[in-house]
Each structure stands twice: as C-alpha cells, then as structure tokens.
Amino acid sequence: MKMILTIIADAVAIWVAAYLLDGIEIGGSGSSFYLTLLAVAVIFGVLNAIVKPILQLLSLPLIVLTLGLFLFIVNAIMLSLTSWLSGLVGLDFHVDSFFWDSVLGAIIVSAVSLVVDMVLPDGRD
C-alpha cells in the first residue's frame, strides 16, 4: 500500500512540475496522459530507490560542504535520468535543459512530495 501511495505522490509531484515549468513535458491526452504519468512516476520511484542512495553516498562531501543544498542537484540528476529512461522505454516525457528545468523541477518535486507525504498516511500507528 505504501508503494502505491508513493507512486501516486511522485506522479502528483511530477505533474505539478510539468504544469508549472514549460521545459518539462508529459505527452499524451486523456487516459494515455495518466498512464504515461504513472509510468514515469514508477521509473522515478525505481531510480530514487536504487540510484539515488548511491549518488548521495558518492556526493556526501559536497552535500556536507553545501549544507544539504547539493541534494537539489542530486534530485535534478534523478529527474534528468527519468527523462532519459522514459525516452528509451518509449514514454513521452521530456526535460529540456538540466540547469533550469531539472533543478527547478527538482525543487518543485521535492516541495510537492513533502506536502503530499505529510498528508498521506505513512503506515505507522
């Protein structure tokens, strides 16, 4: 149940980032839009579960040096990797530029995920 809620939270966060930024595009219309969004959220969640901890470990000195602000760059890398993998799989999700679109998108995704995670139950009593 927690995994489904996390995928939905990621989908909402990616949708808000795509809605607010012109450089992040999710293709499709109607039900294909929502299926694309859910598939992109699954890819984003898998990358966050597997690749992100490795990247955080490797960039730990930069994270400490910047007092955690480098985590936004790590999240931007995750968003760019999601865009790249989505293209390989055949999904219509694209992030135009790394610096402006990915970094701003990562900030938006982090903020929306924080709010959605506060609203959704976490499974603890």
Per residue in 50-88, pLDDT (tens digit) is 999 999 999 999 999 999 999 999 999 999 999 999 999
Output the pLDDT for position 116. Answer: 80
Tell me, what's the pLDDT at 27? 86
Question: pLDDT higher for 65 or 98?
Answer: 65
What is the span of the domain harbouring residue 43? Answer: 2-119
- 78: tokens are 């995750």
Q: What is the full DSSP assignment across the chain?
A: -HHHHHHHHHHHHHHHHHHH-TTEEE---THHHHHHHHHHHHHHHHHHHHHHHHHHHHTHHHHHHTTTTHHHHHHHHHHHHHHHHHHHHT--EEE--IIIIIHHHHHHHHHHHHHHHHHS--S--
Q: Record the pTM.
A: 0.88
Q: How many domains does the chain have?
A: 1
Q: Over the stretch 3-46, which tens digit does the pLDDT of each residue have?
A: 888 888 899 999 999 999 999 999 888 888 999 999 999 999 99
Domain annotation covers residue 124: no
**Is 115 a member of any domain?**
yes
